[in-house]
Chains A and B, each alone.
Chain A
Amino acid sequence: MARTATAPGVPTTRLGKAAVDFDDRLIVAGPLRRTLNKVFPDHWSFLLGEIALYSFILLLLSGTYLTFFFDASMREVVYDGSYAPLRGVEMSAAYDSTLDISFDVRGGLFMRQLHHWAALLFVAAIVVHLLRIFFTGAFRRPRETNWLIGIALLVLSFAMGFTGYSMPDDLLSGTGLRIVSAIILSIPVVGTWVHWAVFNGDYVGEYIVGRMYIVHVLIVPAIMLALIALHLLILVKQKHTQFPGPGRTEHNVVGNRLFPAFAGKATGLVFIVFGVCAALGGLVQINPLWLWGPYNPAQVSAASQPDWYVMFLDGSTRLWPAWDINLPGDYTIPALFWPTVVLPGILFTLMALYPVIERKLTRDETSHHLLQRPRDVPVRTSLGTMAITFYVVLMISGGNDVVADKFDISLNAMTWIGRIGLIILPPIVYVITYRICLGLQKHDREVLEHGIETGVIRRLPHGEFIEVHQPLGPVDEHGHGQLAYGGASVPKKMNQVGAARRAVRGFFSPIEEPAQVELEQRRESHGAAAADESRELTSSGRPSDSGRPQEPRD
């Protein structure tokens, strides 16, 4: 606290004077205070987007390091680095420099693997973040723009992933590139023209690695940075959504202020994300491309799978039947076009348009800042699980040769399992999810109406046994709870309403006196100790003086 020395409010410390000097020039005190005071809701699922952001930062840092050593050229060279098995082999400069990063740069292998792991984590975090937004309805008005930006970032992260693992020009990535070349060729009318534009001629040419490089290190990252900045700007402007709960309304945000609580946790998360990627990068081998060898169009290894997020496209390609469409005039739409261009096109378009579709179907045009629990929106939740099922069947089919091999199943049977499963499993999952949602809804209402099961069995004077229920609020003359469901989680265990004492603190040995804890709880008047005298237990759904149980819905 500044003490009054010469004039009121004039700082006396050196730091204070420096701060005033600083603010004289840049006028940041106002915006800074507003930022520090910004309230962030506290829920674990809000961390998912943060994980994506931090792994993106890590990708920028580690990727920049890798560019110091990577040579994005398809010039033929003869390898003479320290990896003996490949010495004397002809390969592209791209593969040669990737081997050098792995074997001849101190810590280069660590950095390369860290970059790859961070990329996998990045896409995974985006996908899980997207699922969180979807299932809680956080994409609803006014947040449709941020949903669209998120979808764009997901698509761009696929592009980043693909160009990233294709650039080293090893046998595995070359196989992937060959498939992409075929996919481009399969586009009706313009396919060959697009291919010639992308590859500067026939497959494979000498340009593609250099082009992928500039796309990977400049064009797409720049777009992603801009989109992420926009994403965060809109987030700050619109403020966070929050789950319904005590004191939470459509017009406020309840949580911690940025400084210091949220800043502390968020900075902690940055370090944990970085640390997990570093540990994985050093300890868990990923893409040991020296084992694959340089790309050779005449060679391939079995179980050639892309990174996990592209596997669903590999799966759809494997499952799609051999249906070329021959048009008059000897034109052909190749079968490959449908599962690799049309299907992802439809999937991403549906995903991008989902907020609009839902708005049209529900005619819900109002702004929402409170999240929904998935069970309260059974149709959306079921659509979501249906989509996940569709995706997972495709993803497993992307590795169906490995499944067939490991579990000794016929490869052809795996293909048919995938084809049939893709069509019949999603509707089944839809129905099951829908029923689960309704069941959970009913249970919430039941607990609100009849109270929590206490596990205490009581014998009534006429001999009937009943389980004692703890109502959550005031009850009417029939013993029915009068609380309405508010979209928030309903406590269903006695411990959640404070029946249990607070645990005595201390990890190896208690550092508090149990008696002290009990006293403290009595003082704060919660917990079983405090409630013993005042608690009124009622029986489930029936008047306390009735002899016969009645229907609960009465």
Chain B
Amino acid sequence: MTTQHTGPGSHGGAGVSGPHVGGPDDQYSAEQLAAMPREELDRLGARYDGVEVLHVDPGPEPGSTLEKRAVRQVALTFALAGVAALAFIVVYVGSGWFLPDWQWDITEGGWSAIFTPLLGSLGGLSLILVGVGLVLYTKKLLPHETAVQDKHDGSHFDRVTTGATLVGGLHDSGLARRKLLTRSMVFMGGALGAMLIMPLGGLIRNPNTGNPLGTTSWGEGVRLLRDDGTPIRPGDQQPGSLETVFPAVPGGNRESDAATMLIRLRPEQLEADRPIPGQEGFGYGDYVAYSKICTHAGCPVSLYEQETSRILCPCHQSQFDVTQGAKPVFGPATRALPQLPITVDDEGYFVARSDYIEAVGPTYWNRERI
């Protein structure tokens, strides 16, 4: 290899105009190149790219049994891929035309149940066969060559000359000397950068106006409704049962933090009941109501095991004891589930006596302050 050329694309040096400018075109005339066989041209170009072909394991001999067999294999694979692709098209287009309808109906199996699996298996098969065919082709029919390519480290010449150009430009700009200019540019850049991100300020909203995290739709006299909107009387639930209730306001059953569990304690639970100090009168008879939103990560705590009086959150397995004011007894939750103070109204239906006295749901930075 010659060291004259820094790279195959370089046109530097020669001041000759016309179709053959610089580079290898100076070294090899069109006549010379035309006289070379194709293999030699290939190797010449490779050498020019720093690649040396060390060894070529030729593919199977033309006309040999081995070649015929490999060709048959590859051709069969490609043909099968085509067949699978056509079958995919037939299934996709034909369903609902000359084949049964593709739309899935929960009541029946049949064609609609295998429509998607058919698409997957035919489409997948077709694509995989193309891939397998290509790999077989490469492995069995192409010559295997071992080539070596040189790896070049950065060139000292390039570094020095590029550095000179850069430093020269910087020097000409005089930024190092003209301090006022540099400072004004820094100032301008900072201010403009800040200006460009200003519209993002539209995203900023104050989370503390109106204490949205600390309040829910519950309030004095708001009835406890089931998901279907019916109110609940004290006699409706069996001891030991749990019902999810929502505030009787429009959209109350879709609110993200209002869901509440109304639990009727069994007599023995009632005996063991030790409410949190200050919340002794929050229940009504043998009924207690706790927020359903986990104080850990906000999942609905759903699994109530009445034998152990525990409520389990299925997301991270925090467990709360309903006879101890829904205090966390295991898992990552740190706070008890907030308790909703309840009573019954004139018509005998459960109502809330006020909103929750603390924020419902996961803990946040200034939760204790609001």
Contacts and interface: CB of A to CB of B under 8 A. Distances in A.
Contacts of A495: none
Interface string B198-222: 0000011111100011000000000
Contact of A336 (B133, B362, B366): B362
A193 B121 CA distance: 49
Contacts of A333: 365
Given A322-B334, A331-B369, A505-B66, A272 B127 contact: yes
Interface in B121-179: 121, 123-135, 137-138, 142, 144-151, 153
B149 A283 contact: no
A238 B65 CA distance: 43
Interface in A162-200: 175, 178-179, 181-183, 185-193, 195-197, 200
A384 B221 CA distance: 60
A255 B149 CA distance: 8
B284 interface: no
Contacts of B246: 298
The DSSP consensus for interface residues of chain B is mixed
Nearest to B208: A192
Nearest to A175: B299
Nearest to A180: B297
A324 B365 contact: no
Contacts of B298: 178-179, 181-182, 203
B241 interface: no
Nearest to B296: A336
Interface in B238-272: 244, 246, 253-257, 259
Interface residues of A, number: 116
B363 interface: yes
B364 A332 contact: yes
B297 A300 contact: no
Given A179-B299, A331-B369, A334-B363, A265 B254 contact: no
Nearest to B123: A278
Given A192-B213, A317-B332, A239 B123 contact: no
B314 A301 contact: yes
A265 to B, nearest CB: 5
A502 interface: no
B259 A298 contact: yes
A500 B285 CA distance: 87
B138 A200 contact: no
B317 interface: yes
Contacts of B45: 33, 37
A503 interface: no
Nearest to A283: B120
A318 to B, nearest CB: 5
B316 A317 contact: yes
Contacts of A186: 362-364
Contacts of B316: 314, 317-318
B119 A253 contact: no
Given A183-B297, A254-B146, A275 B131 contact: yes
B325 interface: no
A261 B58 CA distance: 12
B199 to A, nearest CB: 13
Across the A-B interface, the 9 shortest Cβ-Cβ residue pairs: A282-B120, A279-B124, A275-B127, A275-B128, A271-B131, A268-B134, A272-B131, A264-B138, A298-B259
Interface of A: 1-2, 4, 7-9, 30-31, 33-34, 37-39, 82-85, 103-104, 106-107, 109-110, 113-114, 175, 178-179, 181-183, 185-193, 195-197, 200-204, 239, 247, 250-257, 260-261, 264-265, 267-283, 296-304, 314, 317-324, 326, 329-336, 339, 367, 369, 400-401, 411-412, 415, 505, 511
